[in-house]
Chains A and B, each alone.
Chain A
Amino acid sequence: MVKECLEGKEQAWHLLVNNFSRRIFNLAYQFCGCYEEAEDLTQEIFMKIYTSLPKYDSSKNLTAWILTVAKNHLIDSYRKTKKEKSQREDFWQHLQAGIEPGPEAEMITAQTRELIWKGLGQLPPEIRLAIILKEIHGKSYEEVAEIMNIPVGTAKSRINRGKIQLARLLNQEVSQR
């Protein structure tokens, strides 16, 4: 696919966009918490992917490479703008409609969902991204480590630290009730 993209084949680029656009957009949205900003970030990430295609090493995993480009851009843009991401949109503004009814959904109150959604924005960017990749996108510790270019042990400790921080938020909520 990458080779054909480099040869200028439009279909190959469309295929790449179809395969990864939804994943990248959701990653960006979960990271920044703002729909419009996520759209801008997605476009910037795909521009970066397109311009970096000549550097892609075909012996490596394409998904991991694309997610690494996305991760680098998300972290860089966070550092450049220094925009405080605690100002996340309300959970129900876009995400509430996507919750599928079922026993799992009933177990968790809307208030808890909102709390965790906002809590994600309070995590340091590297920890937040590791949590999103592992818990929301279902990546293994090894995959998270590869995407984030860190040792597996570091990935594990970041994810655990993030979960402990989110659990503290839940505890605070319970104690305030």
Chain B
Amino acid sequence: MKCAQINKLLPVYLENELSWQEKMEVEAHLKTCARCAADLDNFKKISLLLSSMPQLEINPSLQARLYSIPTQIKLQPSRKLGLLDFFLKPSAQPALAAAVILLLFLSFFTLHPDGRYLGYSLKGKINFSLGQLEKTIAKVEGFPGYWPLVRRSIAHSLKNIVQGPS
């Protein structure tokens, strides 16, 4: 391992949280690298310094101010969740996001001029196909016994409904 990699492992090494293999690699490297050994000393120094950081006593005037907090604030009893709180709940966020996307998608059809055109076009295709179907049925009534042609015509009409006129 290179010095940069070892350096990242040193704090973990000091916490004794490395795997056995990593520990062996770090120790072998430390024996041959004075710079990394010096870094290890720095990490030790940092831990020692931070753990021996003096704890200050609190100022009596601040303590008095903290004691008096209940006289300054009146506690509000825990309120029940309102409608707005329900919508603000993190768990409701995915459902709200999905609803927004759905509304956005629908708005393309209902509000956008092209969307309206798409709606009309779809309606036109359905009407055309229904018309074809009606004509076929009329033909069937006019030529009884000619079923293979009728079946093909019905199949053609249904295909038109699904895929549009060819």
A residues sitting closer than 8 Å to B (CB atoms) are: 5-6, 8, 10, 13-14, 17, 21-22, 25-26, 29-30, 39, 42-43, 46-47, 50-51, 53-55, 94-100, 104-105, 107-108, 112-113, 116, 131-132, 135-136, 138, 156, 159-160, 163-164, 166-167, 170-171, 174
Cβ-defined contact, A10 with B70, below 8 A: yes
Q: Which of B26-34, B75-83, B128-136, B140-148 contacts A (4 or more CB under 8 A)?
A: B75-83
Convert B55-75 into 0s and 1s, putting 1 for each residue whose CB lies closer than 8 angstroms to a CB of A.
Answer: 111110011011101101101
Query: Whole-angstrom distance between the alpha carbons of A50 and B71 in the complex?
Result: 11
Could you pull out 13 A-B pairs where Cβ atoms are within 8 angstroms? A17-B66, A46-B69, A47-B73, A95-B54, A95-B56, A97-B54, A100-B54, A104-B52, A112-B49, A113-B49, A136-B50, A163-B47, A171-B39
- Residues of A contacting B77 in the complex (Cβ-Cβ under 8 angstroms): 54
Query: Whole-angstrom distance between the alpha carbons of A108 and B47 in the complex?
Result: 11
Chain B at the A interface: SS class: helix
B50, B63, B72: the one within 8 Å of A17 (CB): B63
B residues sitting closer than 8 Å to A (CB atoms) are: 7-8, 10-12, 17, 38-39, 42-43, 45-59, 62-63, 65-67, 69-70, 72-73, 75-78
Cβ-defined contact, A29 with B56, below 8 A: yes
Chain A at the B interface: SS class: helix
Cβ-defined contact, B70 with A13, below 8 A: yes
- Residues of B contacting A96 in the complex (Cβ-Cβ under 8 angstroms): 54
CB distance from A71 to the nearest CB of B (A): 17
Q: A25-B58, A47-B69 are in contact. Are A159 and B49 (CB under 8 A)?
A: no
Query: Whole-angstrom distance between the alpha carbons of A163 and B59 in the complex?
Result: 31
Most buried by A among B12, B39, B54: B54
- Residues of B contacting A51 in the complex (Cβ-Cβ under 8 angstroms): 73, 75-76
CB distance from B21 to the nearest CB of A (A): 19
Cβ-defined contact, A166 with B75, below 8 A: no
Cβ-defined contact, B58 with A21, below 8 A: yes
Cβ-defined contact, A8 with B65, below 8 A: no
CB distance from A150 to the nearest CB of B (A): 16
Cβ-defined contact, A54 with B76, below 8 A: yes
- Residues of A contacting B45 in the complex (Cβ-Cβ under 8 angstroms): 107-108, 112, 170
Query: Whole-angstrom distance between the alpha carbons of A155 and B48 in the complex?
Result: 20
